[in-house]
Amino acid sequence: MNNNQTAQYDFNNIEKKWQQYWQQNRTFATSDDFSMPKYYVLDMFPYPSGDGLHVGHPEGYTASDIIARYKRMNGFNVLHPMGYDAFGLPAEQYAIKTGTHPRDTTVKNINRIRQQIQSLGFSYDWDREIDTTDTKYYRWTQWIFLQLFNSYFDTEQQRARPISELLEALENESLLIDPAGQIVPNQNKDLEALAGLPIGTRTWAELTPAQRSEILSNQRLAYQAEVAVNWCPELGTVLANEEVIGGVSERGGHPVIRKPMRQWMLRITAYAERLLDDLEGLDWTHGIKKLQADWIGKSTGAEVDFTIDEHGATLKVFTTRPDTLFGATYMVMAPEHPLVPEITTEPQRPAVEQYITQAARKSDLDRTDLAKEKTGVFTGAYAINPVNNQRIPIWISDYVLIGYGTGAIMAVPAHDTRDFEFATKFNLPIIQVVAPTLEDAYIINHAKEFTTTEAIEGDSLGFMGFLILTKEIHPTADWEKVAQETDHRKIELPNGVVLYAVPHEARRDIDYSKYFDKLPKYVDIAHDPQFMKDPKATIRHPLQEAFTGEGFAVNSDQFNDLDTDQFKTKITNWLAEQGLGNAAINYKLRDWLFSRQRYWGEPFPILHLENGTTIAVDESDLPVTLPDVETYQPSGTGESPLATIPEWLNTTYNGQPAQRETNTMPQWAGSCWYYLRYLDAHNELAPFASEKEKYWMPVDLYIGGAEHAVLHLLYARFWHKVLYDLGHVHTKEPFTKLVNQGMILGDDNQKMSKSRGNVVNPDKVINDYGADSMRLYEMFMGPLDATKPWSMQGVEGVHRFLQKVWRLIIGPEGKIHTNITDQPNDDAAQRTLHKTIKKVTQDIDAFAFNTAISQMMIFTNEYLRLPHCNRAAIESFTLILAPFAPHFAEEIWQRLGHTDSLAYQPWPTYDESLTQDPEIEIAVQVLGKIKDRITIPADLTEDQIKERAIASEKVQQAIAGKTVRKVIVIKGRLVNIVAN
RNA sequence: GCCGAAGUGGCGGAAUUGGCAGACGCGCGGGAUUCAAAAUCCCGUUCUGGCAACAGAGUGAGGGUUCGAUUCCCUCCUUCGGCACCA
């Protein structure tokens, strides 16, 4: 290697030199040595945008690189790959504008971003680099799509199974098709067909090919359906809900309208329960898990059937509060509900039709804007409330969403805020059926008059108050004991709530903390004798607003006085007995809208035959590649530019004419499984070899931005579970541990943006200070997951630190400093070394890189003061610095006389006994105030420490004339003397 | 509106099974070195009062528990992030 050793820290040459060395020696190429312990550390791969890398990217990449290098030095076989999520709108928008093929733009951008990533010295295995737009990659994305297309979800077994198994059951007639088109078991199968099949039930053989195709489609995990989608005229494509932010497209900010269209969907809802359940075992932050759980949005309740009066049809609703059925005074259907035209009466029809048209034309943005004021129209129809046979009107309103539950609700205005608003506006009756518990009632009535602490300590006016006891708040409180010992009077109220009352004067002397870890609410009610006399009467006041809490039932016939939970159970059972309803679970999560009408995405490996059936392209015919097109402009009719190329569009299948599916997949597709392709990036026979998957999976550490908290991670988990069910992967979850790096703000504490002019260009930072300084600074800024502002002066600070280390180790001739010898360190220097190894090791394990760096700074500052330092200590220090500043460390390591890279050197170990100081300084407090600091041998006993502390002159002054009541000794920390 | 995270010097931040608040870095002030500058080194740097020794206050605000609270509990305020008519 080169001999032109310089005396200066010449980061430019050093970094180039080592990047070349790593590349030429394939230092970080990962072997599939299954005998070694493995560690898979994954970064969220970037979209190769024309702007190149942002300073936010290297933050996560540096953190993962530190871990990767650290794990290697700890003997792990580390998989640390990188690639590009390269399909996507920007390249395509650019193509529309300029006519440049998105592939050209993409290749150019990838080259740029690769160069940027490499200039930071990350230890990726570049042999495994992937690009989602590469046909060799998306061939397997299409293959996975076919897995979805060729599978159905067995609800009984709660897992995906090949659709061929379903087909077989249909063909052998153990399954039949009922009149509604549902697949049902054949009850008569083993009875030699004694009786005929139920009326309208058909066998598979009786169906036409198109009907069969339709039936199977209704089961497939990937299916087509007519759905109300977000159509963005400007982009000429539909967008998923999550790509629409506040009524405009996430990309470009164009308006979006609702429109029914036939689209490809993925049945992610089938996995809702498992996606929710399996969150539990993941080592992800609580916050991210909660975001996912909320997105899935499970709610438990009941489905109830309401009969439509003089019509006979059933209107099914979902409710989480079946206990409020007696308060249902009207119903509301979504305007898009299919039953609306059917039940609308003639006089109401014009108004209803007008409302439906209006609602459909409204963009999501308009809907949001108008959300303040409820709108709606009466259909003229009435439903019968099954619990009390009341005739209640049916309205339509866009505050009821077609996509959630059944698209219709029972409205309980007394206990639902939205229903309350609607009922108030349209003068519909409001009947209270839930009375708040006494505690809630009192708080509702007197919310502004007291707080917990005031109620206990404050000077309220009256002489009588009460403590509120509920099982929820004080499950373990021994109230009998309280009553006995504190002279409280026990008062039992009809609804089971127990109060303990005490005279005002007496309660001041009671130490409630003796009885409860959580203080009871203490309410002074002397000014409200009515409340004591008949609490129920007090709380049954006309509602000023909806009461959405729980309590006990009123106005509910035989269910009166039941508490909310009991009521729910009872009424649900009752409904089931009467055949009027059943317990039910609903999820906010919707099926995933998977098609886009764009050019730059994976084509669907699907053919449409003339007989109306839809079939999969044979696996052996994959990939279905993108053709070249004249123009990238979407057709605007809801079809992609692919539809305009007849020679691509028209093909044959077994000699029959067939048309290719012209939609393409959304950008999420490629990123849903890329972590699997890295395992075996060049496999031409399969997406990955099974034995490699068994060795490397799951991903041990996944680092990326929190913006992917829900979608990417949920979609990837979904695909992974499907692959798991079909036996392609062996773990239920792909990512064991997830860490989110925080956002980096500009130096003005604002989000970085071109318009603010506060964007920091990583290339410039690397050019001015070097990649090692850049890496070090990004880690030194603060905790990895925090949002923090950039500071160029901070970069200079860590750069100065590297300069110092350089001066510590490298002498004026560019050789090792003459101060560094084999002479042993003195004890203090040796302790500093061991403390440093310990802290850096523990901090890396805890992702506390900022404090690891500050400890290395302390080491450097101390060692610079030494007359000489021990060579082995310097070598150890170089090794622990290596994950943070790898080029720098390699250069030092080489100058220390080593010929190999330090990348696989064993991580230095520390001796716990050498991290302990023989003498320590402790604080001496009197009554919690520090009076003195004394230096004592570390191994003193408590009594000895006590003695020394009291002997202190300053302490003597402070306790003069007082009696020492107690002396608290915290070993190694402080002594606190209580004296008065 | 709901959910989540967080509020500590001039700035980024450190310290929590409750035990010396402000590590480390930046900035700033003073000094050394230099013809001068850069670089480097040394000293100081939470605030208030004081020449100083020292005293008092102090981790968003208020209250509580404790010998002792940045850390635990209650109430409130602010900032950031996410979701948003989900019955």
Largest CA distance in chain A: 109
Q: What is the pLDDT at residue A312? A: 85
**Apex A950 CA angle, A947 and A951, nearest 5:** 80
The Cα A664–Cα A336 span in angstroms is 28
Contact A249, A213 (CB under 8 A): no
Å from the A706 CA to the B23 C1'? 30
A407: the nucleotide nearest its CA (via C1') is B87
The Cα A97–Cα A313 span in angstroms is 54
Q: What is the pLDDT at residue A245? A: 65
Contact A804, A860 (CB under 8 A): yes
Side chain identity at A805, as an amino acid letter? Answer: V
Structure tokens that stand for A158 in this block: 């709660």
Smallest Cα–Cα separation from A446: which of A534, A537, A539?
A539
A373: the nucleotide nearest its CA (via C1') is B85
Bridge-based pairing of strands A656-660 and A606-609 is antiparallel
DSSP A206: G
A933: the nucleotide nearest its CA (via C1') is B20
List strands edge to edge, sheet with A222-232.
Answer: A237-239, A222-232, A257-266, A592-593
Å from the A705 CA to the B77 C1'? 30
CB atoms within 10 A of CB A23: 12
A969: the nucleotide nearest its CA (via C1') is B19
Q: What is the pLDDT at residue A458? A: 30
Å from the A783 CA to the B40 C1'? 31
- What ipTM did this prediction achieve? 0.95
Contact A500, A469 (CB under 8 A): yes
Å from the A41 CA to the B4 C1'? 27
Å from the A825 CA to the B30 C1'? 35
Q: Which single residue has its CA nearest the C1' atom of nucleotide B27?
A: A793
Q: What is the pLDDT at residue A189? A: 63
Contacts of A348 (CB under 8 A, 6+ apart): A377, A378, A379, A380
Q: Which single residue has its CA nearest the C1' atom of nucleotide B75?
A: A451
A782: the nucleotide nearest its CA (via C1') is B13
CB atoms within 10 A of CB A101: 17
A300: the nucleotide nearest its CA (via C1') is B87
Contact A374, A421 (CB under 8 A): yes
A954: the nucleotide nearest its CA (via C1') is B54
A298: the nucleotide nearest its CA (via C1') is B86
Contact A470, A478 (CB under 8 A): no
Side chain identity at A242, as an amino acid letter? Answer: E
Q: Which residues of A866-900 are buried (b: 16+ CB within 10 A; e: fewer)?
A: beebbbebbbbbbbbbbbbbbbbbbbbbbbbeeee
DSSP A239: E
Å from the A811 CA to the B31 C1'? 27
Contacts of A435 (CB under 8 A, 6+ apart): A441, A536, A539, A540, A551, A552, A553, A554
**Residue with tokens 């029972």, as numbered in its chain:** A410
Burial class of A462 by CB neighbour count within 10 A (0 to 12, 13 to 18, 19+): middle
Residues of chain A with pLDDT under 70: 1-5, 188-197, 241-242, 245-248, 250-251, 362-372, 437-544, 636
Å from the A686 CA to the B78 C1'? 55
Contact A594, A191 (CB under 8 A): no
| DSSP notation for A448-503 | GG--HHHHHHS--S-SEEEEEE-TTT-TT--HHHHHHHHTPEEEE-TTS-EEEEEE
The Cα A652–Cα A152 span in angstroms is 27
Q: What is the pLDDT at residue A279? A: 92
A319: the nucleotide nearest its CA (via C1') is B87
Strand B bases contacted by the protein (CB, 7 Å): 3-5, 11-15, 19-21, 23-27, 39-42, 56, 62-69, 73-75, 80-87
Q: What is the pLDDT at residue A717? A: 96
Query: A921: which strand partners?
Result: A935
Å from the A805 CA to the B44 C1'? 25
Å from the A751 CA to the B81 C1'? 12
Give CA separation, A496 vs A325, A482, A571, in Å.
23, 18, 21
Provide the CA A1 distance to its chain's centre, in angstroms: 48
The Cα A856–Cα A873 span in angstroms is 13
Query: A976: which strand partners?
Result: A925, A968
Contact A617, A607 (CB under 8 A): yes
Q: Which single residue has its CA nearest the C1' atom of nucleotide B18?
A: A970
Q: What is the pLDDT at residue A926? A: 87
pTM of the model: 0.89
Contact A403, A228 (CB under 8 A): yes
What length is written for chain A? 980
A926: the nucleotide nearest its CA (via C1') is B67
Å from the A777 CA to the B24 C1'? 13
Å from the A861 CA to the B25 C1'? 13
Q: Cα Rg for chain A, rounded, in angstroms?
A: 36
The Cα A744–Cα A765 span in angstroms is 15
Cα dihedral value A330, A331, A334, A340, nearest 10: -100
In SS3 terms, A133-165 reads as CCHHHHHHHHHHHHHHHCEEEECCCCEEEEHHH
A710: the nucleotide nearest its CA (via C1') is B82
A957: the nucleotide nearest its CA (via C1') is B54
Q: What is the pLDDT at residue A885? A: 97
Q: What is the pLDDT at residue A441? A: 56
Smallest Cα–Cα separation from A730: which of A718, A721, A738, A741?
A721
Å from the A152 CA to the B45 C1'? 70
Quote the mean pLDDT of chain A: 85
DSSP A359: H
**Residue with tokens 């009435």, as numbered in its chain:** A382
Query: A842: which strand partners?
Result: none
Contact A129, A81 (CB under 8 A): yes
Å from the A353 CA to the B2 C1'? 34
Å from the A810 CA to the B35 C1'? 30
Give CA separation, A637 vs A92, A600, A619, in Å.
18, 17, 31
Q: Using a CB cutoff of 8 Å and minimum separation of 24, what contacts does A807-811 make?
A: A807/A864, A808/A860, A808/A863, A808/A864, A808/A869, A808/A874, A809/A874, A809/A878, A809/A892, A809/A895, A809/A896, A810/A7, A810/A9, A810/A892, A810/A895, A811/A7
Contacts of A570 (CB under 8 A, 6+ apart): A559, A562
**Residue with tokens 């917990």, as numbered in its chain:** A452
Å from the A968 CA to the B26 C1'? 39
Structure tokens that stand for A723 in this block: 């692959």
